[in-house]
Structure 1
Amino acid sequence: MTQIKKLLEDISPTRILACSFLVIILLGTVGLKLPISTTGSISWIDALFTAVSATTVTGLIVVDTATQFTMFGQFIIMIMIQIGGIGLMTFAVFVLLIMGRKISLKQRIIMTEAFNQSNTGGIVQLVKLLMTFGLSVEFVAFLLLSIKWVPVYGWKHGLFNSLFHTISSFNNAGFSTWSNNLMDYATDPIVNIVISFLFIVGGLGFTVISDLFKSRNWNSFMLHTKMMIVGTLVLNIVSTLLIFTLEYNNPQTIGGLSETGKWIASFFQAVSPRTAGFNTVNTGSMEDASLVYTMVLMFIGAGSASTGSGIKLTTAMVVLLATITFLRSKSEPVLYGRRIQTDIIIRSLAIIMMSIFVLFIFIFLLTITESAPFLAIAFEAISAFGTVGLSTGITFDLSTLGKVFIMILMFIGRIGPITFAFMLAKPRDTHVRYPSDQVFTG
């Protein structure tokens, strides 16, 4: 017992986080293979793919969630989404807090790694806020959706559909209990507002939520909070206008809707790609330009320490600001009277380069194993890496090897490419510093 405890203490926090996801995936796979979980037979690879997609809160499916799984199977998927979105370690720490147990330094370090924090200070308070705020928001949204759906589907299915979509939305999963996702509610204001509010709030990041609770005025917010609020607002407005313009006359998407309906559908399609993965129009029927822009949104993703993935909005903003600073011949990027440190810029560049490198490898491999058009393959790969779940319709036709590649992308995308690299690499402690020399670039 002592040796097992010592072994666990020696494992790095990044590997513990990765292993926690793997444990959920394995248990979920077994659960989905139970006869009570499905309406018919399902292969192990499809059960594993569904478990990976749910745990990494992606939403890509190789079997129809609505028809292939029973309510019990859908319940298992819902539990995996909730645990995968907030994190197994977060749940474990919260249970310990409820029991009045002391949180060890090792557990604090793991949580710090999970939330991309720079130090362990205040991490326990962040966990408390995450759970209380998250469950409270989910409860209110559940009530609102129940009012909408119970009269339509009855108490049993109405309440379950409301709970399932609430958890799927807040955790940016994109899973639905309907075969056509939310296309029946493309112009419904209540469903669009509640669902989009859930995944936007879930995608802001709990560091931002915590700062909003602590600070009551704009000047006292952290720079990260200001960047996330302004960046999210600007990106959502620009994306809505762009999707509205590109899809305006497309009869297969928003072309046949009323003017108000077009704006509602355009807004939903603009904000959903940042890792939510729900769709109210047929994604595969969108214009190529819209698909390319959606790929950019999926690559950027949500906020740090959120239920979403991607390279993160602040990462993209930091690199953009650093580029603008360089072009203006200034020494360092400054925003809202605060300087962005060099190590943050280097980390942001590393995240983007690692992400591009990973995507290039897997898109290349998928072009070998799959017969779909290149745009569809690239879209699928970026959707998996950003744990978004949107698809042009090729997921059901993926080969076995293609499913494996997509599963790996979803896993890497959820834990982060840098975390994944650190997990595989052996730490090397060196204090050697070499002399500099000139390198010509550009």
Structure 2
Amino acid sequence: MARFNIHPLQAYRQVRRTGQLQASPPAVLAGSFLVLILIGTALLSLPIAQRHPFGVFEALFTATSAVTVTGLMLIDPAHDLSFFGQAVLLALVQVGGIGFVTFAIIATLTLGKRVSLKYQALALEAFNQTSVTRIRQTALTVLKFSLAIEGAAILILTLWWWRHDSLGHAFLLAGFHAVSAFNNAGLSLFAGSMVKFTEDPVTTFVITGCVILGGLGFSVLADIQQKRSWATLAYYTRLMLIGTLVLNLAGFALFWLIEARNPHTLGALPAAGQGLAAWTQVVAARTAGFASVDVDQLYDSSRFLLTGLMFIGGGSLSTASGIKLATFIVLLAVVRAYILQRREVVLMHRTIAPETIHKALALMMVSGLLVCLGIFLVSLFENLPFIAVVMEVMSAFSTTGISPDLTGTLSLPSQIVLMLLMFVGRLGPLTLVYSLGTQRRSRVRYPETMLQIG
């Protein structure tokens, strides 16, 4: 892949000379998201968007949270935003979730224009693809699956909620929550998020189904649609399906076991309600952000469990964030290979390439350091329980949005830290993978040495 990195001084001179700026694909992506955030901030700052007035910073925080599909809020979207404001919020979630580049590529292809090499590199980076010929197919697949899944969810929820509401209002609520769920944003117009639906199996499984499908990744969905047979599915697809199932079921069982004795959460519900609430909360922790119980009342062990699920996140080329499930599985395979003293890292009868292992380790390390830095800064600015700070910071970095009711009570510096973490958490790992994938190989070889580790 071509490199487009450029020194700031060179960039300034280039703009002065040609009026154009050639930047790296991650820089273009970051700039696109930043522009989208600023546009969202301007729209949300308009009086027509506000039912109850709020400031520009609140609008900026809201726009950042929506574009990065996080869900952390300083305002109440149901009460503080007008219908226009809620529509803007939903549009930011949709574009931020599916991806600004997706819409740009589709628009270019629709107009019959040839995608330039620069934007091919940008699309390859955004879609996590290695073949230029698959850009068109991938872009159209993203849009097709998004509209199909969201449309089906809207239809089911509208008909289900219509029993207790008007058709028009049920449709609007269904549209908002279907888009929010599929894009893993976790934004809700209901008081207490999904708490009122803890004993509603239809709503529970539609919402969590959207979250899971959005978090699997579009390449996985496309592979399933095309092959429809386990034996012929791609290796990555099978890995994601097994990993998602195991992680969700294990988290579900642990969360239910821990919180079943908590009278402030699952303990106050019947057995069926406990199961539905536990399932929703665990699935939502995979970067969706919905809450089926009062997060502030959870045991510390449950918060730690949810924090770990947030950090892992979903799949590549999905609406989810985190370090990604495949990264976590590769790291587990590396540990297993070391314990068993095997020279090669083998996963499901396949040897993992050293480049993949290096990327996984680097991504894990950089993500961990960013989270630790965020925890340190927020702990420096606030006097709060440590586990609450950890959960809030992880929620921002993993773009999850599950919060123990801290976001609105934090000081301005802490809220700025959360905004930066949301932005970096959405784009940072992407930039890291790009830099690792385009680094130049050195022809200089140095003698090997052994270090004492552990």
Please list, as runs of the form range in 1=range in 2, the aligned pairs for 1:3-402 lying within 5 A after superposition.
Answer: 10-402=22-414
**Structure 2 unaligned regions, length at least 5:** 1-13
- Relative to structure 1, the CA distance from residue 116 to residue 407 in structure 2 (aligned partners, 3 Å threshold; closer, same or farther) is same
Deviation at 1:252, TM superposition (A): 1.1
Q: Is the 8 A contact 1:64 1:179 kept in 2?
A: no
Confirm whether residue 434 of structure 1 aligns to residue 445 of structure 2.
yes
| Amino acid aligned to 1:120 | V
For the aligned residues, what is the CA RMSD? Answer: 2.0
Q: Using the alignment, how far apart are the partners of 1:421 and 1:211 within structure 2? A: 23
Partner SS, residue 122 of structure 1:
helix
- Relative to structure 1, the CA distance from residue 108 to residue 421 in structure 2 (aligned partners, 3 Å threshold; closer, same or farther) is closer
Q: Using the alignment, how far apart are the partners of 1:58 and 1:49 within structure 2? A: 11
Deviation at 1:8, TM superposition (A): 5.2
Q: Using the alignment, how far apart are the partners of 1:114 and 1:327 within structure 2? A: 35
- Relative to structure 1, the CA distance from residue 295 to residue 342 in structure 2 (aligned partners, 3 Å threshold; closer, same or farther) is same
Q: Is the 8 A contact 2:26 2:430 kept in 1?
A: no
Deviation at 1:101, TM superposition (A): 3.0
Confirm whether residue 409 of structure 1 aligns to residue 421 of structure 2.
yes
Deviation at 1:146, TM superposition (A): 0.6
1:109-148 CA distance string (max 9 Å, x none)? 2111012223324121011111011101111110111112
Q: Is the 8 A contact 2:52 2:79 kept in 1?
A: no
Q: Using the alignment, how far apart are the partners of 2:382 and 2:398 within structure 1? A: 20
- Relative to structure 1, the CA distance from residue 313 to residue 185 in structure 2 (aligned partners, 3 Å threshold; closer, same or farther) is same
Deviation at 1:5, TM superposition (A): 11
- Relative to structure 1, the CA distance from residue 166 to residue 8 in structure 2 (aligned partners, 3 Å threshold; closer, same or farther) is farther
Q: Is the 8 A contact 1:45 1:400 kept in 2?
A: no
Partner SS, residue 102 of structure 2:
helix
- Relative to structure 1, the CA distance from residue 317 to residue 4 in structure 2 (aligned partners, 3 Å threshold; closer, same or farther) is farther
Deviation at 1:155, TM superposition (A): 3.0
Paired positions, count:
439
| Amino acid aligned to 1:280 | S
Q: Give the TM-score normalised by structure 2.
A: 0.93
1:177-207 CA distance string (max 9 Å, x none)? 1231111111101110100000100000111
Q: Using the alignment, how far apart are the partners of 1:309 and 1:368 within structure 2? A: 26
- Relative to structure 1, the CA distance from residue 224 to residue 436 in structure 2 (aligned partners, 3 Å threshold; closer, same or farther) is farther
| Amino acid aligned to 1:75 | A
Partner SS, residue 372 of structure 1:
coil
1:395-440 CA distance string (max 9 Å, x none)? 11011111100000000111133516968x9x87463323132131
Deviation at 1:24, TM superposition (A): 0.8
Identity of aligned residues (%): 38
**Structure 1 unaligned regions, length at least 5:** none
- Relative to structure 1, the CA distance from residue 8 to residue 172 in structure 2 (aligned partners, 3 Å threshold; closer, same or farther) is farther
Deviation at 1:3, TM superposition (A): 6.3
Please list every run of at least 4 consecutive aligned residues from structure 1 whose deviation after the TM superposition is greater than 4 angstroms.
2-9, 420-423, 427-430
Q: Using the alignment, how far apart are the partners of 1:250 and 1:195 within structure 2? A: 25
- Relative to structure 1, the CA distance from residue 318 to residue 80 in structure 2 (aligned partners, 3 Å threshold; closer, same or farther) is same
